[in-house]
Structure 1
Amino acid sequence: MLIFHYGELNTELQKCPYHKPLGFEAGSVTSDQISCSNEDQYTGWFSSWIPSKARLNNQGFGCAWLSKFQDTNQWLQIDLKEVKVVSGILTQGRCDSDEWVTKYTVQYRTNENLNWIYYKDQTGNNRMFYGNSDRSSTVQNLLRPPIVARYIRILPLGWHTRIAIRMELLLCMNKCT
């Protein structure tokens, strides 16, 4: 049960000592839950790099989401289907080429009719997360406090060669199961 006090989480939830993968890698996150900017332009060669390819440890041709455009207006969006507590993000680069996201920011919202909210740092500025420095290692960024939302967006701010990402979201659990 989540306890809200004017948008703040209770102290126990802020700690979030236990995490579990949402299911990108396992496949329980379906393709229709993952979308991106300019998705309607993913035709021809780019149809191999659609957002649903952004799964942690994905291998082979088309093993990552590869943004068609290389600018800071791009995003990868996840619809959790219901409000959940997201406690972390794992990222990797493209498995078959030296392309990866080096830094990114996160937006979220609980309802599709609400405006996007940037995840903030302790000083109230948009939090920047450091991403990868190679194509294969996994970088973990924990969200403290966690995000309570249905929709999550990853917005690349920096990248090596091209915007390419494989990822997993971590969910906060009350205890180990």
Structure 2
Amino acid sequence: MLFVIHLCSLMAAVVMAEGDVMLPYHPQNTAFHPQRRVTSAKSLVTMLLLKENKKLADKLEQVKLDSELSNLALQTKLEALEMKIETRPRSTRCYMGMKFGDIPDSAITASSQVDVKHSPARARLDTEMTGDNFRGGWAASTPVSDEWIQVDLGSSLPIAGVILQGRSDMNEWVKTYKVQCDSVTIQEYGVDKIFIGNTDRDTKVVGKFHHPLKCQIVRIVPVSFQVHVTLRFELISGKCFDEY
């Protein structure tokens, strides 16, 4: 309705500008030409419609451009974020929380411990001896192969494997071990898989699974060891399977 009023106003203005709208009709009045006035009005309508269409087309084009720019900006931000994530150290991206403390002490339990100084919480990767109160690793109460240590992740998560270390303050480490995923021992060729552990106290040795496994509770069961059953460890996220 507003457009029609606007159109009529413009037509009236143009017709009046021509100076022929105020003349009365008379057969001898050569200034009044009905056919010319009709043609002029049609041309004016066509011109106005083209003008309005162009405005709408320009607005639509601007909306499209703004949308494309917005999408480009969003894509650029996403690519920057992905690059930032990918350039983080592998340990930050792939470790599941033992080393950096995301897994609480209460989620780490064991079959036994020598004392509070050798508690399961001391089994975090890269743990160092702290004074006389805390030792550099978890240590079972007895040097036998049926001891174990486990972590409860709180929910079932994909895991690519484990990283094992020996005890940081003594020459003690686990040489070989088994891994259980929710009480089921990982197997290879139909028998329990024996993972290769450490040969010294500090080297990090990766025990990679054949494929990522979804587990909530991961248990490490030492099979053979150097002097005593003691270790530090980390879990590798399933998303990093191809990086190890």
More strand by share: 1
Shorter chain as denominator, the TM-score bin is 0.7 to 0.9
1:49-128 correspondence runs (5 A): 49-61=118-130, 62-109=135-182, 116-121=183-188, 123-128=189-194
Displacement of 1:175 in angstroms is 9.6
Q: Which has the higher helix share?
A: 2
TM-score, normalised relative to structure 2: 0.57
Count of paired positions = 146
What residue in structure 1 maps to residue 117 of structure 2?
48
Give 1:59's aligned amino acid. E
CA positional deviation for 1:38: 2.9
TM-score normalised to the size of structure 1?
A: 0.78
Instruction: Report which of the two structures shows the higher radius of gyration computed on alpha carbons.
Output: 2
Runs of 4+ deviating beyond 4 Å:
none
Q: What 5-or-longer segments of structure 1 have no aligned partner?
A: 1-18, 110-115
Q: Deviations over 1:135-168 (max 9, x none)?
A: 0111011111222111111000000010110100
CA distance in 2 between counterparts of 1:103 and 1:145 reads 20
> What is the CA-CA distance between 1:66 and the residue it aligns to?
0.6
Higher relative contact order (CA 8 A, sep 6+): 1
Deviation readout 1:41-84 (Å, 9 max, x if unpaired): x5xxx110000110111111412001111112100011010000
Structure 1 CA distance for aligned equivalents of residues 208 and 241 of structure 2: 17
Give 5+ residue unaligned stretches, structure 2.
1-92
Alignment of 1:153-164 (within 5 A): 153-164=219-230
Identity %: 26
- Aligned equivalent of 1:31: 105
